[in-house]
Amino acid sequence: MQDLPNKREPSLMPWLMVWFCYMAFYEITKLFNVTNFISGWLMFFGGFATSMLIGGYSAWFILRTSSKIRLTFILLLISSLFLLTNGSIYHYLYNVLHFTRAQVSITLFSTYNLLYLGYLITQVAVWISILATLPPQERRSTFFCVPATVIVLAAFLIYIFAVQWNITSFSLIGFYDGLDEILQLFSFVAAALCLITSQNRGLTYLALGYLIVRIAGFVMGFRFFAQAYGSGSIAEAGWLLGDVITIYGLYLIKKTSVFLQNTPWVAIPSTTRSQIAFWSFISSIGAFALLSIVAFVFKL
């Protein structure tokens, strides 16, 4: 990692404690009819606040850096604005008003889905812009090609065999959900490669936070496909946790002034330990895909 040595890294623990206390209060408000309405607004303002913080940090970096990484923060700012608008509509409908999908009009459904697609497209661009700082010869390395192919193929098999499809694939809902999951998959792969090749701690937590968000998004997508999704699920808590870790990563980038450096933020790991960790990650995803197929075939 190439962080500045004279800067002491702040602890992640206080950030996790804030998230834990917030979610504990949220769960308590859900237990009683008198306070249940508060829980919906808590999730609404939680999503609103995290999107605002991510956007605020991004704008701050844009104004203070002229390095190659500036494009990344511009894309991250645009992405946070898409998520801020989409998340506000989503949380108001599903967490405050407690609507089901059947109660949401096609026009409104299309509006917040188009905003979500904008968020995912810009997130794909964010992680690609970071990987683009690699030298051209390293971008074409099999280190990237092989694992990316494995992840995409594994995730495709999981979707085919592990998800109970209860929506019409060629309907408008099926089109939006399918496109959402494809874009989530591409951004997940790019962020995973950034995490593994990261050269500073801020980017490591930035990528880790986004991967947690995407895993929560996958879980929500699975349940939407099965028409079994309800607001206030554990996936939404996971999404908020990912946002908190993302903000911590941005805070580290600011604290260590790494955004002022013109050195690449990513590089192919050269140590045996890094290579083993990387392929262990890829193997675990492949193993999960294989188990999903076995469970499907043998009706487990």
Q: What is the C-alpha separation between 247 and 272, in angstroms, rounded?
A: 31
Q: Going by C-beta distance under 8 Å and a sequence separation of 6 or more, which residues neighbour residue 280? A: none
Q: Helix 172-197 vs helix 272-297: angle between axes, to the nearest 10 degrees?
A: 150
Beta strands of the chain (E only): which ranges?
Answer: none
Do the beta carbons of residue 72 and residue 133 sit within 8 Å? Answer: no
Following DSSP, what letter does each residue of 230-275 receive, concatenated? Answer: -TT-HHHHHHHHHHHHHHHHHHHHHHTTGGG--S-SB----SHHHH
- List the end-to-end C-alpha distance of the chain, in Å, as a whole number: 44
- The DSSP H or E segment spanning 295 is helix 272-297
Which has more pLDDT, 16 or 185? Answer: 16
Structure-token pair, residue 80? 């946070």
Q: Which of 141, 271, 279, 204 is nearest to 2 (CA)?
A: 204
Query: Which residues is 127 bridged to in the sheet?
Result: none
Query: Which residues is 43 bridged to in the sheet?
Result: none
pLDDT above 60 for 241: yes
| 3-class secondary-structure state, position 198 | strand
Dihedral (Cα; 140, 156, 212, 266), 10-degree rounding: 0
Tell me the C-alpha to C-alpha distance, in Å, between residue 84 and each of 26, 43, 115, 160, 236: 20, 13, 9, 31, 15
Average pLDDT, the chain: 76
Domains and CATH numbers, the chain: 13-297 (1.20.1070)
What is the arithmetic mean of pLDDT over 136-152? 61
What is the arithmetic mean of pLDDT over 189-208? 86
Question: Out of 21-25, 244-248, 254-258, which region has the weakest mean confidence (pLDDT)?
Answer: 254-258
Q: What is the C-alpha separation between 242 and 58, in angstroms, rounded?
A: 17
pLDDT above 50 for 300: no
Q: Name residue 64's amino acid.
A: R
Which has more pLDDT, 133 or 230? Answer: 133
Q: What is the C-alpha separation between 155 and 60, in angstroms, rounded?
A: 36
Query: Which residues is 198 bridged to in the sheet?
Result: 266
- The DSSP H or E segment spanning 260 is none
Looking from the CA of 224 toward its CB, the CA atoms found within 13 Å total 21
pLDDT above 80 for 122: yes
Do the beta carbons of residue 229 and residue 223 sit within 8 Å? Answer: yes
pLDDT tens for 45-103 read 988 999 999 999 999 999 988 777 889 999 999 999 999 998 888 888 877 877 776 67
Q: What is the C-alpha separation between 224 and 109, in angstroms, rounded?
A: 13
Residue 29 confidence class, pLDDT cut points 50, 70, 90: confident
Q: What is the C-alpha separation between 171 and 225, in angstroms, rounded?
A: 12
Q: What is the C-alpha separation between 228 and 222, in angstroms, rounded?
A: 9
Tell me the C-alpha to C-alpha distance, in Å, between residue 234 and each of 134, 151, 217, 255, 271: 37, 24, 11, 31, 37
